[in-house]
Amino acid sequence: MKKYKKSIVVILSLLTMSCGDYFDKEPIGLITQEQISSDPTEQSIVSAVNSTYQMYSQTLNVIGEWDWTGGKVLRNDFIIYDIASGDMLKKWNPDGDQAWMDEVGSFNFTSINGAFNGAWSYSFEAISRANTAISILEQDHITSNTGMSQNLIDRLLAESLFLRALSYFELVNNFGDVPMITVPLDSFADAYEVSVRRPASEVWQLIMSDLQKASSLLPQAKFSSQSEPWRVSKGAVLSLIAKAELYQENYQNVISIISQIEDLGFYSLNVHYFDSFDVTKHFQENEVIFAYDHQEGRNPRKGNGLAALMGWGFVAPSESFVQAFEQGDPRLFYTVDLTNRNVNKLLGTKNGLYKGNDDSPGNKIYIRYADVLLWKAEALIKLGNIEQGLLIVDMVRLRAKNTPYVNGTLPDPSILAPYAGRGLNQAEALQALIQERRVELGFESHRFNDLKRWGIALDILRDMGKNFQAHHMLFPIPQEEVDRSGGLINQNQGY
């Protein structure tokens, strides 16, 4: 047991794995807390930080060995955000395979569903790994003990703070009040002391504090590391600050922070809509702000395993999603090729290449500039600056309108007409924004949180025939966590 103290794997388990299953198995690409604490080196510290990034990959079996029912084979974003939103179906041809995914789509939520267990597990494992790195990087004599430059220490600390904040951002939106852990835990007694849910307001305070500190530590550059452009950057941190402010309805702050991002001059809408997703253009385009860098043929593995599921018929669009696109919108094909049943956006190709490949190179995108611009548009509209907000929405639409079809021809100039200048009122402008976010960001795991944030989840999902209830605004706490805490972690209402 001493071999792997890493935060007691966060509150007894918080990974919902037994000691027999997990403590005897070295996590992929991760050094132990004891190793990094007793004799930290530059290599061991970088390894600790890199292992935190792993929790934001879609690589197969990072924390679970084919544990489908536990929801740990890969990240469940496409299930809890896209399938739950009604944009995505589990499969092109419905069947009984992995029925727990269907239960999410039908809002038959239970506390033993693997989707929620996986969401909890990935987030808290990321927090645990980030805490390990932070605890070392914040030591007084780390520079003299390791020979690392202060710039490198600052950058790695900022990355770890960002990833911890991102994990808590997901947890507070998915589960509400959650345990709040900011240091590695050395004993089960320590774990019991913190296995109590803290108010969401305190979690938001931690998120903002971590992000503000991270922002102060990063260089004013598009990439914090030129040799490793996938690392957290100043723009990524500012973007998550803006997103957190949006979710807390601090709209003026959203506008102010995004203005800072614009002033950096690092980002713009790509000329071609698909460039953000194209596997041949990773980190060579201008729109992606934060993504996990998937690569083929690495040891340990670093490929995108979601493509493997597509080979078995998983990940399909709902009819409602397809019908949401205006006639002639090029983004439909670049999101999903209906004829050949290829989810182009997630494969990173336009011809089905990598479909069925469990080690594909397509990156997992978390933040891109179009998303950020639409946050600003939303904030402006909410504050009554309707025309300014719609002008931003129209920028996103114009880029889509100017994107050629896959055969090279351009869309008819009459499609995707601008919204600005139509005299829309606030409600109509918000509806335009809601529509634009759906088609622009489809299958990028934003829709369900958007519906909840706008307060329209109940109406939209019930209109789609789903059994959405008020308590579904939060997911159930995994029952194993409630049980293992001896009831210290209480269940969300309705479950």
Query: Where in 416-473 does DSSP place strands (E)?
Result: none
Give the rounded percent of residues in the chain with a pLDDT score beyond 90: 89
Residue 292 bridge partners (DSSP):
364
CB 111 within 8 Å of CB 480: no
Question: Tell me: the pLDDT tens digits for 374-410?
Answer: 999 999 999 999 999 999 999 999 999 999 999 999 9
Helix (H, G, I), strand (E, B), or coil: what is residue 317?
strand
Query: In this structure, what token pair is assigned to residue 463?
Result: 């209109």
How many Cα atoms within 13 Å fall on the side-chain side of residue 233? Answer: 26
Domain chopping of the chain, boundaries: 1-217, 218-443
CB 128 within 8 Å of CB 22: no
Q: Which residue stretches of 293-425 are H helix?
A: 306-310, 319-323, 331-335, 344-347, 369-382, 386-401
Mean pLDDT, rounded, for 118-142: 96
Query: In this structure, what token pair is assigned to residue 470?
Result: 């008020």
Q: Is the pLDDT of residue 5 over 50?
A: no
Question: Tell me: the pLDDT tens digits for 404-458?
Answer: 999 999 999 999 999 999 999 999 999 999 999 999 999 999 999 999 999 999 9
- Name every residue whose Cβ is closer than 8 Å to that of residue 369 and which is 6 or more positions away in sequence: 267, 268, 269, 286, 287, 288, 289
- Name every residue whose Cβ is closer than 8 Å to that of residue 93 and which is 6 or more positions away in sequence: 313
- Name every residue whose Cβ is closer than 8 Å to that of residue 161 and which is 6 or more positions away in sequence: 130, 134, 210, 211, 213, 214, 217
Q: Is the pLDDT of residue 189 over 60?
A: yes
Highest CATH level, class, for 1-217? mainly alpha
Q: Check residue 194 and give its pLDDT.
A: 83
pLDDT band at 30 (very low <50, low <70, confident <90, very high): very low
Report the DSSP pairing between strands 288-292 and 364-368: antiparallel
Q: Closest Cα to residue 436, out of 486, 484, 398?
A: 398
User: What CATH code is assigned to 218-443?
Assistant: 1.25.40.390
Helix (H, G, I), strand (E, B), or coil: what is residue 199?
coil
pLDDT band at 185 (very low <50, low <70, confident <90, very high): confident
Q: Is the pLDDT of residue 9 over 50?
A: no
Q: Check residue 69 and give its pLDDT.
A: 93
CB 86 within 8 Å of CB 461: yes
Query: Do 218-443 and 1-217 fall under one CATH topology?
Result: yes
Query: In this structure, what token pair is assigned to residue 259?
Result: 């203005």
